[in-house]
Amino acid sequence: MSAPTAARDVLADVDPDVLARSEAALATVGLDPLGLDTTASFEVRDPATEEVIARPADYTPDEALIALDRADRAGAAWARTTARHRSDVLHRAYDLIIEQRDRLALVITREMGKPLAEAYGEVQYAADYVRWYAEEAVRPAGNYRESPRGGSTILTSRAPVGTALLITPWNFPMAMATRKIAPAIAVGCGAVVKPAALTPLTTLVVAEIFVQAGVPEELVQVVTTSKASPLSTALLADPRVRKVSFTGSTGVGSTLLALAAQHVVKSSMELGGNAPLLVFDDADLERAVEGALVAKLRNGGQSCVAANRILVQDGIADAFVEGFTERMSQVVMGNPLGDVQLGPVIDDRAVANFRGWVDDAVARGAELRTGGSAPDRPGHFFEATVLDRVPESAAIAQEEIFGPIASIARFTTEDEGVARANSTPFGLASYIFTADVDRALDVADRLDAGMVGINHGIVSNVAAPFGGIKASGLGREGSSEGLEEYQEIRFYNVARRG
- The Cα–Cα gap between 389 and 387 comes to 7
Check binding of 203 to ligand SIN (CB under 6 A): no
Question: Of the listed 63, 118, 208, 304, which one is catalytic?
Answer: 304
Query: Which residue of 161, 235, 297, 305 would you call a contact of ligand SIN, by CB under 6 A?
Result: 305
- The Cα–Cα gap between 219 and 134 comes to 17
Terminal CA-CA length for the chain = 84
- The Cα–Cα gap between 389 and 209 comes to 49
Instruction: Choose the stretch contacting ligand SIN; rule: CB under 6 A; options: 208-216, 259-267, 303-311, 446-454.
Output: 303-311
Active site residue 270: yes
Check binding of 303 to ligand SIN (CB under 6 A): yes
Residue (33 or 453) nearer to ligand SIN, CB? 453
Element (H, E) at 493: strand 487-495
Question: Of the listed 270, 383, 484, 485, which one is catalytic?
Answer: 270
Query: Which residue of 93, 96, 304, 384 would you call a contact of ligand SIN, by CB under 6 A?
Result: 304
Check binding of 401 to ligand SIN (CB under 6 A): no
Instruction: Choose the stretch contacting ligand SIN; rule: CB under 6 A; options: 13-21, 171-179, 223-231, 340-348.
Output: 171-179
Active site residue 304: yes
Check binding of 250 to ligand SIN (CB under 6 A): no
- The Cα–Cα gap between 280 and 454 comes to 12
Query: Which residue of 5, 171, 335, 434 would you call a contact of ligand SIN, by CB under 6 A?
Result: 171
Residue (28 or 460) nearer to ligand SIN, CB? 460
Q: Give all strands (DSSP E) within 106-195, no chain letters.
A: 143-146, 152-160, 163-167, 191-194
Span 415-474, contacts to ligand SIN by CB under 6 A: 460, 466
Q: Which single residue brings its beta carbon nearest to ligand SIN? A: 460
- The Cα–Cα gap between 33 and 209 comes to 13
- The Cα–Cα gap between 275 and 309 comes to 6
Instruction: Choose the stretch contacting ligand SIN; rule: CB under 6 A; options: 49-57, 167-175, 278-286, 347-355.
Output: 167-175
Which residues face 157 on adjacent strands? 490
Burial 259-278 (b: 16+ CB within 10 A, else e): bbeeeebbbbbbbbbbbbbb
**Cα dihedral 293→298→304→308 (10° resolution):** 20
Residue (124 or 460) nearer to ligand SIN, CB? 460
Residue (38 or 460) nearer to ligand SIN, CB? 460
Nearest approach in angstroms of CB 73 to ligand SIN is 31
DSSP characters over 445-468: HHS--SEEEES-S----TTS-B--
Which residues face 313 on adjacent strands? 411
Question: With contacts defined by CB under 6 A, how many residues of the chain interact with ligand SIN?
Answer: 10
Residue (188 or 468) nearer to ligand SIN, CB? 468
In degrees rounded to 5, what are phi and psi of residue 145? -135, 150
Check binding of 172 to ligand SIN (CB under 6 A): yes
Answer yes or no: are the C-beta atoms of 201 and 56 closer than 8 Å.
yes
Nearest approach in angstroms of CB 481 to ligand SIN is 14
Mark residues 209-248: x for contact with ligand SIN by CB under 6 A, - for none. --------------------------------------x-
- Residues designated catalytic: 270, 304
Contacts with ligand SIN, residue ranges (CB under 6 A): 169, 171-172, 175, 247, 303-305, 460, 466
